[in-house]
Amino acid sequence: MTTATAPALPRTSVKPFYFNTSAHLLRITRQKANTLAEFLDALRECPDGSIFEHTFRTLEEHHFIGEGFSNDFAHWVLSSCNEPSLAEGLASVDVREFTSVADLRDRFIQIVQIFLQRSAEAATRASRETFYFCAADAVVIPTNFVARTLHEFSEGLRGVSVHCIHHHFIEARLRLKLMSNDFSQWLHEDLGLTEAARRLNRIDIYTATLDDVREQIIRIVERALI
Amino acid sequence: MEPMELQTAPVSEMATSEVVSHSNAVSTPIAPLREERRRKPRTWETPPAPVPAPHLDDYKSIVGLPVIDELRFLANGLKGKTLKMVNSTAVGGGVAEMLNQLVPLLNELDLRTKWDVITGGNDFFEVTKAFHNALQGSDYKLTPQARDIFLIHNEQNRKRMEFSEDVVVIHDPQPAALVRGREDSSRRWIWRCHIDLSNPNPDVWGFLRPFIEQYDAAIFSSQSFTRQLAIPQYLFYPCIDPLSEKNKDLDDSFVQQVCDEFGVDRSRPIVTQVSRFDRAKDPVGVVAAFKQARKYVDCQLVLAGGGATDDPEGATVLKEVTESAGEDPDIIILDLPPWCALEINALQRASTIIVQKSIREGFGLTVTEALWKGKPTIAGAVGGIPNQIIHKLTGALVHSVEGCAYQMRYLLTHPQFAKELGENGRKHVKENFLMTTNVRRWLLLCRILLGSGTN
């Protein structure tokens, strides 16, 4: 039996990884809710940008909170409507399981609908605070970091802002329409580091701050360097 | 500016529950001092000269290089574009203060920005002050004369000014009718509303609304301050400048000096509310909450504010607060002039927790200041405060005296949780409510409205 030597991992990619970031401006939409029934209507009618803002984007805005914050809908339902079971249901929605805002919207609508079918009396109870639906307008901007090698990639990860991490690691699935992210895609497709790419996809963004997420990504990438 | 020299007196020599007025022009306290033992600190008799506006690089150590780089990249897409800001005053008030810092930073980023101020007689400013109050809910009877005065002065300013910039930003209602001067549809006009329009006088709003809807977009400070409009509405949170006198880092020796001077004992927990003596800030409620909390935990209360010397209602409220404090040696009431930013900064930094128990509020920048200093903060869930305080994550929101008292007790007896709230609060401000974020929002808005690269 002959022993085949594993081919050396390609450490230089033909296609460089350009670190970009996105900056968002909040627009106030027409939808608002003072009851759960109004909330359900607004969930159906609001622009896609609102679903994005109150789920994907709010994670970025509150990236420093390691635990206890999932999305704006869950937070409002708990703090202003005092409906902990509905809040738990909404909070359990993991944005990374969705590659389209339409599917994400449907999931939230379904959760609220089921709750109101079981607790009809909650539908018209006035909330303590109004929920205002906002939407984010985005501008994508470059950064100073470009990576051609794993080492440069690791340096880039250290140097960019957490907004850049969010842009490539969390928002990316809406662009890619894949259950993945820009980092994993590059590691897998351009460097052949499939295991590292897979491990990145297992990082839990809901139990860590974005800075912690960055550290976990760097650790995985640096392990692949060894 | 050099820190002032403060005369110090040993804590043991100081009387407490006294009003100490630091406006040297009017130094008579409302309530008679029980003893003249607390010396009056030597504060500035007149406002100090303004501090020069900071440069972008000065913020690097605070927000990090990537954030400054992002601003430069955003500004690259606006090369050659011009912007004009128009408001009603060059000095005094939050808008002028913000523009004084914002305009140089935008220019430094090569977005050529001009700032013009409208002029008008007393009659105009009386009308616009009445409009300002009416738009925030006060009773007001709009007369044809008031309408004429408003329109005539806006028209005079329109003729005097030029509007050749790519983006024109009109701040607040006073110059709102300048939009009638827009001729070129390629320019973008924005109305930046700094006040709460959630419950306006219908006559005044009905008069102004047709002007507002001629703009390309409106900007509000909180979702709850908006009206339904036919134009896009954006959300720009107000911001603080981390390099200003009120927010910059201070030497602990200076903090100690200020505490010594004001009779604040740093060896015991300090609960502080900084705000004007105004019923909307519920200082009497703060005293009541403090008295409830202190049954369980040793602490002192500092109420630091102003407005008692230039506002008759402020003097009345100060008297009510002083009476509610009674002879309590642990309640320290300070009536400070508006230019005591360094002392306010020091008191906030010396505090164990900070309270802003407002029952009505604008955005609540004193909350932003407290959070920026990493202080666990308890605040009323009104106005823009819920934008800043996420209950139990970046602070504590309260709705009553009892709730406030409970949170004081809880935070004073759970220092680790209080520390985490403070740390999260500071990060929340760093991300959302600093001057650099404000610069980013303006650059973004210009890019979005001018179509310079959006997704």
Please state the rounded mean pLDDT for residues B174-190.
Answer: 90
Distance CA B216, CA B450 (A): 11
Confidence of residue B455 (pLDDT cuts 50, 70, 90): very low
Domain boundaries, chain A: 13-21+142-225, 23-135
Interface touch A69/B393, C-beta < 8 Å: yes
Q: Is the dihedral angle over the CA atoms B308, B312, B316, B319 positive or is it negative?
A: positive
pLDDT tens-digit map of B370-428:
999 999 999 999 989 999 999 999 999 999 999 999 999 999 999 999 999 999 999 99
β A12-33/A131-149 pair status: antiparallel
| pLDDT for the residue B96 | 86
Q: Mark yes or no for CB contact A134/B69 under 8 Å.
A: no
Range B11-33+243-432: architecture per CATH: 3-Layer(aba) Sandwich (3.40)
Give the model confidence (pLDDT) of A6-61 as tens digits: 444 446 777 899 999 999 999 999 999 999 999 999 999 999 999 999 999 998 88
- pLDDT exceeding 90 applies to what percent of chain B? 72
How close, in Å, is residue B148 to chain A by CA atoms? 33
Tell which wins on pLDDT, B90 or B134: B134
pLDDT at B411: 98
Mean pLDDT of B148-164: 95
Compute the distance between CA of residue B77 and CA of residue A82 in angstroms, rounded to an integer: 45
- Residue in B closest to A76 by C-alpha: B390
Token reading at B374: 């990493």
Asked whether the beta carbons of residue A138 and residue B454 sit closer than 8 angstroms, the reply is: yes
Residue % of chain B over a pLDDT of 70: 87
Would you call A11 helix, strand, or coil by DSSP? coil
Choose among A183, A158, A219, A192: nearest CA to A13. A192
CA separation for the pair B20, B4 (Å, rounded): 17
Which of B74, B391, B427 has the CB atom closest to A23's CB atom?
B74
| Residue contacts between A and B (CB atoms, under 8 Å) | 92
**Using CB atoms, which residue from A132, A137, A138 is nearest to B223?**
A132
- Burial annotation B164-193 (CB, 10 A radius, 16+ → b, else e): ebbbbbbbbbbbbbbbebbeeeebbbbbbb
Name the phi and psi angles at A66, rounded to 5.
-80, -25
Those residues with Cβ within 8 angstroms of residue B301's Cβ, 6 or more apart along the chain or in another chain: B271, B272, B273, B286, B287, B290, B325, B330, B331, B332
Are A132 and B224 within 8 A, CB to CB? yes
Facing residue for A26 by CB, picked from B224, B235, B453: B235
Q: Give the residue numbers in A contacting B (CB under 8 Å), as ranges.
A: 21-28, 30, 32, 61-65, 68-69, 75, 79, 128-130, 132, 134, 137-144, 159-161, 163-164
Tell which residue, A191, A211, A187, has the closest CA to residue A200: A187
B409: enclosing H helix or E strand: helix B401-413
Q: How confident is the model at residue B326, as a pLDDT?
A: 94
Mean pLDDT of chain B: 87
Q: What is the pLDDT of residue B46?
A: 64
Whether B306 and B333 have beta carbons less than 8 Å apart is answered as no
Q: Which of B136, B273, B271, B116 is nearest to B194 (CA)?
A: B136
- Is B308's pLDDT higher than 70? no
Cβ distance of A129 and B381 shorter than 8 Å: yes
Determine the pLDDT at residue B40.
45
In angstroms and rounded to an integer, the radius of gyration of the C-alpha atoms of chain B is 23
Band of pLDDT at residue B50, cut at 50, 70 and 90: low
ipTM value for the complex:
0.88
A109-124 in b/e form (b: 16+ CB < 10 A) is eebbeebbeeeeebbe
CA distance B239 to B216: 23
Q: Where are the beta strands (DSSP E) in B259-416?
A: 270-274, 300-305, 331-335, 353-356, 377-380, 396-398
Statement: residue B133 has pLDDT above 50: yes
Closest CA to B314 of B384, B140, B322: B322
Q: What local confidence, expressed as pLDDT, does residue B30 receive?
A: 38
Per-residue model confidence (pLDDT) at position A59: 85
Q: Residue type for B112, please?
A: R
Q: What is the pLDDT of residue A224?
A: 87
pLDDT the model gives residue A200 = 96
B247: tokens are: 């927010």
Query: Regarding predicted confidence, which is higher, B40 or A15?
Result: A15
Q: What is the pLDDT of residue B47?
A: 64
Of residues A23, A32, A75, nearest to B444 (C-beta): A23
Cα–Cα distance, A77 to B105 (Å, whole number): 40
Q: How confident is the model at residue B144 (pLDDT cuts 50, 70, 90)?
A: very high
- Residues carrying CATH 3.40.50.2000, chain B: 11-33+243-432, 65-239+435-450
| Contact (Cβ atoms closer than 8 angstroms) between residue B41 and residue B259 | no
Cα–Cα distance for residue pair B276/B324, rounded to 1 Å: 17
* CATH match for B65-239+435-450 among 3.40.50.2000, 3.30.470.20, 3.40.50.300, 3.30.870.10: 3.40.50.2000
Q: Closest Cα to residue A226, out of A184, A196, A199, A190? A: A196
Q: Which residues of A touch B453 (CB under 8 A)?
A: 139-140
User: With contacts defined as CB-CB under 8 Å, which chain A residues touch B389?
Assistant: none
Nearest residue on chain A to B73, alpha-carbon basis = A141
Q: Chain B closest CA to A4's CA: distance in Å? A: 45
Partners of A180 in the β-ladder: none
Give this prediction's pTM.
Answer: 0.86
Write out the H or E segment, with its range, that includes residue B123: helix B122-135
- Alpha-carbon distance of B246 to B343, in angstroms, equals 8
Burial of residue B359 (CB within 10 Å: 0-12, 13-18, 19+) is middle
User: Hey, are the CB atoms on B73 and A141 less than 8 Å from each other?
Assistant: yes
The Cα B248–Cα A157 span in angstroms is: 30
The residue whose two tokens read 């909040």 is A26
* Residue of A19, A25, A212 to mutate for B, most B C-beta atoms under 10 A: A25
**Higher-scoring residue by pLDDT: A150, B185:** A150
Residue B97: band (very low, low, confident or very high) from pLDDT cuts 50, 70, 90: confident
Nearest CA in chain A to B442: A25
Residue A141 confidence (pLDDT): 93
d(CA B450, CA B445): 8
Query: B56-70 pLDDT, tens per residue?
Result: 999 999 999 999 999
CB pair distance less than 8 Å for A64 and B431: yes
Q: Which two tokens stand for residue B402?
A: 């009892």
Mutate to test the interface with B, among A78, A132, A141, A145 (most CBs of B within 10 A): A141
Strands B19-21, B396-398: parallel, antiparallel or unpaired by DSSP? unpaired
Residues of chain A falling short of pLDDT 50: 1-10
- pLDDT > 80? residue B325: yes
Paired sense of beta strands A12-33 and B233-235, if any: antiparallel
Residues B211, A213: Cα–Cα separation, whole Å:
48
Q: For residue B295, what are the contacts with CB-CB under 8 A and spacing of at least 6?
A: none
Residue A204 CB neighbour total at 10 angstroms: 11
Q: Band the pLDDT of B215: cuts 50, 70, 90.
A: very high
3-state helix, strand, coil in chain B (%, to 5): 45, 15, 45
